[in-house]
Structure 1
Amino acid sequence: MIRGFFTDVDPAAIGRPLQAMISVSLQANARGKIRTFIRDIRELPQVIDVYFLAGADDYILHVAARDTEDLRSFVVEKLNALPDVAGTQTSLIFEHLRGGAPL
């Protein structure tokens, strides 16, 4: 079943060439506030995708930033400033290759 269509925009073409994956762990007492966290994080312009996980981390965010200063500002001043965030770990994306699956 087709769930919808989307446009795959190159972040570099819109002035956000630096991409990263950010693992996010929430405070233990934040479990009841997951919807609030998702709502708040999706409003930030750097966020491309949000993945809810099982395991050590609660979320992985795919983000795109203008440069390293923009990424640092996003992580330090926006993401880590959210009261329910316990910690983050950032990994830079050097290259993004799509899988070969027909889906």
Structure 2
Amino acid sequence: MIRGFYTDLDPVAVGLPLQAMIAVNLQSSARGRIRNFIQQIRRKPQVMDVYFLAGPDDFILHVAARDTEDLRSFVVENLNADADVAGTQTSLIFEHLRGAAPL
């Protein structure tokens, strides 16, 4: 089943050459506000994808930024400043390659 069509823009071409994956863990007291966190974080222009996970991390965010300062600001102002966020871990993406799967 086809769920839709979308445009796949090159982040570099739109001025966002730095990409990262950010692991986010919420406070145990924030479990009832998971949907609220998802709604709020999806609205941020740097956020390309949000993955809600089972395992040691609650979320992985795929983000794009202008530079390291822009990325730092995103993490500090939108994640670390959120009382529901217990911690984050940021990994820079050197290269993104798509797999061979048709999906």
CA distance in 1, matches of 2:39, 2:102: 31
Look up the SS of the partner of 1:100 in the other structure.
Answer: coil
Unpaired runs of at least 5, structure 1: none
TM-score, structure 2 as length reference: 0.97
TM-score, structure 1 as length reference: 0.97
Give 1:31 deviation, angstroms: 0.7
Q: Count how many residue pairs are aligned between Structure 1 and Structure 2.
A: 103
Give 1:79 deviation, angstroms: 1.4
Cα-Cα RMSD: 0.7
Identity score, percent: 79
User: Alpha-carbon deviations, 1:10-41, whole Å to 9, x = none?
Assistant: 11111100000000000001111011101110
Give 1:76 deviation, angstroms: 1.1
Unpaired runs of at least 5, structure 2: none
2:38 alignment partner in structure 1: 38
1:26 alignment partner in structure 2: 26
CA distance in 2, matches of 1:72, 1:46: 12
State the 4+ residue runs in structure 1 displaced beyond 6 angstroms.
Answer: none
For the pair 1:8 / 2:8, whether they are aligned, the reply is yes
2:94 alignment partner in structure 1: 94
